[in-house]
Chains A and B, each alone.
Chain A
Amino acid sequence: MKIKILLGAIVGIAAISVAHWKLNGTPRYMPGSPSTSTPASGEVRAEFTVGFLPVTCHLTCPVTSWVSEHSTSGTKFKAQRFTDFPSMKEALIARKIDATFMNAPLAIKLVMDGVPCKIVHLGHRDGTALMVKTDGPIQKFEDLRGKVVAIPGRFSNQNIFLHKMMRELGMPFDSMTIKELPPPEHPSALAAGAIDAYIIGEPHAAKAELDGYGRVLLQMRDAWPNFISCVLVVRQELIDERRPLVTELVNGIAASGEWLDEDRDRGAQHRHDAAIVAGKLFYNQKPELLDFLLTKDVTRVSYTNLKPLQKDFNEIVGLAVELQILPRQIAFEEYIDDSFSPDLATVDVPFDRLPDVEKVAAQ
């Protein structure tokens, strides 16, 4: 009897292990791939893992990954989805991923803390909104006095922006209660009345707008033009030892950004494609939500002009130090290596429609 139970347990564990390996062992998101992406020569392509969160600030990551997975040459860029910034940061520290998108102040803090990595490119421009209740009384920034406002994290440019605005409008920094909330919680907290406003990257802002209970109070595009939220961070050893690979990644990200913005004034077909592929396969979000925010107002988020500029970062670091988010000033060259960022004129966009987009749309 005891032997039977032991054998039963062993067989059961073996069966569940095999089932798990069969069902979940390989990524299952590639219609027409990866068999088509294997070169006829049988040459093994290098792989490079890039972390991302399912937010539009990181949209160039899935686009680059999708294109590279469907290509027959070059490096395969694997997009590793995370659900929060801390896990991404730890995976980077532990060298479990090669690069990742993350909030700019968080990336600078990492460098200050001695983590060997650098910012090599920006993720996007703009793409953040300050949201309030549709039928609420808040009509301008000053009305947030005494209200509860959610931010994604202390080391975020959204936090810095709120303080920058308060300073410009002569409001004391304690004139509103700022709460840190995980980004996905922002829309539901507003809907439930737990907060009065929130400031967050897309699509979490558009979610409240699309569902009818949220209204845009400020678009970053208007309030802080060329706003930077997330940046691409690469491990220092890869920058030092595998420059061609990092160059290929940054070129891919830049090309994806250029592609996303290329036809945005002419129907934005590229953004429709990205909403389908990223929404269905990488973000697991309703493509309609991504489509709404990417194409309804095409200037809401921008993916060009992504070379890191010293004047932008000097402003961010200056404010962050003043707010004691960062402990000290840091030289631009210490945390940024802009030598990989190509000039837009030289970026080659080797595709028009995303591969297999119709197949994905039909899924």
Chain B
Amino acid sequence: MSLAPIAATAGAVLLIVVARKLRDPLPKFLLPLATAILFLCFWQFAAEQAQYEVKQPDGTKRLVEIFPTPWSTLVGMQKPIMDGTLLRYAIASIYRVAIGFSLAVLIGIPVGLLAGWYLRGFQAINPLIQAMRPISPIAWIPVAVLWFGVKDSSAIFLITLSSFFPIVTGTMTAVQTIPLVYVRSAKNYGLGGFGLFRYVVFPACLPQIITSLRIALGIAWLVIVAAEMIAVDSGLGYLIMDARNANYYDRVVGAMITIGLIGIGLDFVMRRLELLDDVRWGFPKVNS
């Protein structure tokens, strides 16, 4: 193992020890930084362990790197970053997730509200939803290709499908767990029908719906690699498949990191929704 990762590991451990005792907000930035450094060191160490020398027929030796190091990943990502491919592909993936997730929201929330409110509706659709929910999006790929071909719509279908189930299940549960006192009070004040839904049921469910949206968006983003395994010709999932095909493992890892970073950004946006006045009552005040 080379010296640099050992030194960096020691530095990161020291940073953790020191940062724990500092005043906020410093630990909030320093602790994740130290964890990231430790992760990079572990990665470097693992990659170095996987390297080995091979004796060539002419007697010379050759070092075989079977897994890219952090540095070789950075070097390998230089081209897709500089020529705009990474940005182009990130936009393609975000587009598919945005459309797919929006469709899941537009279908999932009304279905969940109705199924949660009407017992017979719940009895009718819940078994089907629970049966379909655990099916991996990869299993749906043949269906997606057969129905939608090899265009964006296939990938969007897979994303919609995977984010629909958490939304509908979360919404159904939210409706079913509304305290009865809310509904009775509203009825005492003469509310009923759509008004009851609009002013009591929906606002009371909103915090739980937002939590399920957050989970669903995470799943939608998680599914992007599987969704882009189908013959689309752009996107971060496609970049992974394509780089794997071409033996550019540095780009595979680089695309994985990009997916992770964008995932953090998307989760950040979703968490901002928890701060809305209408729903803030439903969330704990820590970690906001």
Residues of B near A13 (CB, < 8 A) are 98-99, 102
Determine whether the beta carbon of A212 is less than 8 Å from that of B62.
Answer: yes
Could you tell me the distance in whole angstroms from the C-beta of B21 to the nearest C-beta in chain A?
40
Determine whether the beta carbon of B98 is less than 8 Å from that of A191.
Answer: no
With A17-B95, A24-B234, A135-B54: A283-B246 Cβ-Cβ less than 8 Å? yes
A134 interface residue per 8 A CB criterion: yes
Determine whether the beta carbon of A23 is less than 8 Å from that of B64.
Answer: no
With A1-B276, A20-B92, A54-B246: A87-B229 Cβ-Cβ less than 8 Å? yes
With A87-B141, A213-B54: A284-B92 Cβ-Cβ less than 8 Å? no
A311 interface residue per 8 A CB criterion: no
Q: How large is the interface on B (under 10, 10 to 19, 20 to 34, 35 or more residues)?
A: 35 or more
Residues of A near B64 (CB, < 8 A) are 191, 211-213
A90 interface residue per 8 A CB criterion: yes
Count of CB-CB pairs between chains A and B under 8 Å: 119
Can you list 11 A-B contacts with CB-CB less than 8 angstroms, sorted by A residue number?
A9-B102, A16-B91, A19-B91, A83-B241, A87-B150, A91-B149, A134-B56, A185-B244, A188-B249, A213-B54, A286-B246
Determine whether the beta carbon of B278 is less than 8 Å from that of A23.
Answer: no
B285 interface residue per 8 A CB criterion: no
A5 interface residue per 8 A CB criterion: yes
With A80-B231, A87-B231, A192-B66: A16-B245 Cβ-Cβ less than 8 Å? no
A124 interface residue per 8 A CB criterion: no
Residues of A near B278 (CB, < 8 A) are 2
Instruction: Specify which of B91, B150, B242, B246 is in contact with A80 (CB 8 Å cutoff).
Output: B150
B277 interface residue per 8 A CB criterion: yes
Q: Once the chains are docked, how many angstroms separate the CA of A213 from the CA of B52?
A: 10
Residues of B near A16 (CB, < 8 A) are 91, 94-95, 98
Determine whether the beta carbon of A23 is less than 8 Å from that of B92.
Answer: yes
B287 interface residue per 8 A CB criterion: no
* 0 or 1 for each of A86-108: is its CB under 8 Å from B? (1 = yes): 11101101101100000000000
Q: Which of A154-192 contact B (CB under 8 A)?
A: 183-185, 187-188, 191-192
Of A2, A82, A133, which is in contact with the most chain B CB atoms at under 10 Å from its CB? A82
With A1-B276, A23-B91, A188-B66: A83-B231 Cβ-Cβ less than 8 Å? yes
Residues of A near B288 (CB, < 8 A) are none
